[in-house]
Amino acid sequence: MQLRKVTAASAAVLALALSATACGSGDKDDSGSSGGGKIKIGIKFDQPGLGLKKPDGTYAGFDVDVATYVAKQLGYAPDKIEWVETKSADRENALARGDVKFIAATYSITDERKAKVDFAGPYLLAHQDLLVKTGSDIAKGTDLNGKKLCSVTGSTSAQNVQKSIAPKAQLKELSSYSECIAGLQSGAVDAVTTDDSILAGFASQEQYKGKFKLAGLKLSNENYGVGVKKGDTATVDKINKALEKMVSDGSWQKAVEANFGPADYKNEPAPKIGVIVPNAS
């Protein structure tokens, strides 16, 4: 009966392990504030200068700094933050499911998205642009018609291409900008389009220096907001106060210089909370 005993003991251990997981993971908490006084925040993991998971496992970028500042104002020290990757197409669902408390991931405030999520901010104004190889003759939006263009599923950038910028471009939609950049380098695509802030961050990477150039077009206005779950107006109010403080105490400017300086990205001045710069169409 030796075997039976062992089996019973294993079952007991397994049961214990399962109950420990159920109590401790915080997965059931739909607010994005997991157990142990932690907060889950959505960012990008592959956008240098904005949201980047570095090889040493730490995180850096303007969105990371904004999120860290906001979290602190909400009562969460940096060591209480759990970073979660929220790719462009996943953001609305991540908030609806309560995977994260808020998202700071180059997330433009749009009416379409406002039907599904709420936004604090804006905290940065960027513009859609093109990244091409040095020497490319693509210089304006309409040059893209008939060309292979890469952007990301669920982004305003991909939508704008089809709607207005170059409806006849061969648009390839991938799941992240780093994949598009790899395509530009290999020659699989002729251009990458998204926010100038993002493109400048990639172009300044050591391995791409001198290889790519931004076209310098302001194809849209992208008002970056902090996304929260629809209806969570208390959190929106708190985040707006935090963002105002971040600008007034100089932390916003410091974060801009630290993160955009190396990319030589000329950002717009700090936006006013609640004031969206609209698009032409």
Binding site for ligand GLU (CB under 6 A): 88, 105-108, 152, 155-157, 194-195, 222
Q: Between residues 190 and 222, which has the closer beta carbon with respect to ligand GLU?
A: 222
Cα 201 to Cα 219: distance, rounded to the nearest angstrom: 18
Rounded least distance, CB 135 to ligand GLU, Å: 26
Backbone phi, psi, residue 54, to 5°: -85, 160
- The helix (H) or strand (E) run that includes residue 130 is strand 128-133
Largest CA distance in the chain: 80
Which three-class secondary structure state does DSSP give residue 126? Answer: strand
Which residue's CB comes closest to ligand GLU? Answer: 155
Rounded least distance, CB 195 to ligand GLU, Å: 5
Look up tokens 């190396």; give the residue.
262
Contact 41, 67 (CB under 8 A): yes
Q: Between residues 38 and 126, which has the closer beta carbon with respect to ligand GLU?
A: 126
Amino acid 163 reads K
Q: Between residues 76 and 141, which has the closer beta carbon with respect to ligand GLU?
A: 141
Rounded least distance, CB 62 to ligand GLU, Å: 13
Q: Between residues 47 and 240, which has the closer beta carbon with respect to ligand GLU?
A: 47
Q: Between residues 29 and 46, which has the closer beta carbon with respect to ligand GLU?
A: 46
Rounded least distance, CB 267 to ligand GLU, Å: 14
**End-to-end Cα distance, the chain:** 78
Q: Which two tokens stand for residue 265?
A: 């990205």
Rounded least distance, CB 106 to ligand GLU, Å: 4
